[in-house]
Amino acid sequence: MIKNKVEQRLTNYWAASISDSIREIQDLNLKENKTSYYIKSDEWEEMLEEAIEAAIGPASVEMLSGRLSPFKLSELVDRKQLIMAAQRLLKLTYEHSAKTLPAIIDDHLTEFPGGEDWQAGRLE
């Protein structure tokens, strides 16, 4: 999501990675009783903050041909916006079944920067 927000585009790989991550979170977060969750929908913010900080270094290597240092990328990242976008996707895991979730996530990804081009197959 960091790469998407900074580069203002969405690749097939990034979309698949985001979707796979959200579906994996849904699977891991659902307790064995299939009716309750380890992490409630309003408990994600601190974990997302930590995840963003941990992802900045690797993202700086992978995006823009590695031209941004982690320090510069850290300055560019709108953490509040990223957290809000992640929380919207995570909320879907509480509202949709594993069967319908992939299509719902794809619909939401079309709202990301470059999402309309991704949906139309206009990829770089």
Give SS3 for 37.
strand
Q: Which tens digits make up the pLDDT trace of 35-86?
A: 899 999 999 999 999 999 999 999 999 988 889 999 999 999 999 999 999 9
pTM for this prediction: 0.91
- pLDDT by residue (tens digit) across 24-42? 999 999 999 888 999 999 9
Q: If you compute the radius of gyration of the chain from its CA atoms, what whole number of angstroms results?
A: 15
Structure tokens at 30: 């659902």
Query: What own/partner pairs with CB < 8 Å and gap ≥ 24 does 25-34 have?
Result: 25/90, 25/93, 26/93, 26/98, 26/101, 27/98, 29/93
Residues 8, 58: Cα–Cα separation, whole Å: 18
Spatial contact of 112 and 85, defined as CB atoms under 8 Å apart: yes
Per-residue pLDDT at 124 exceeds 80: no
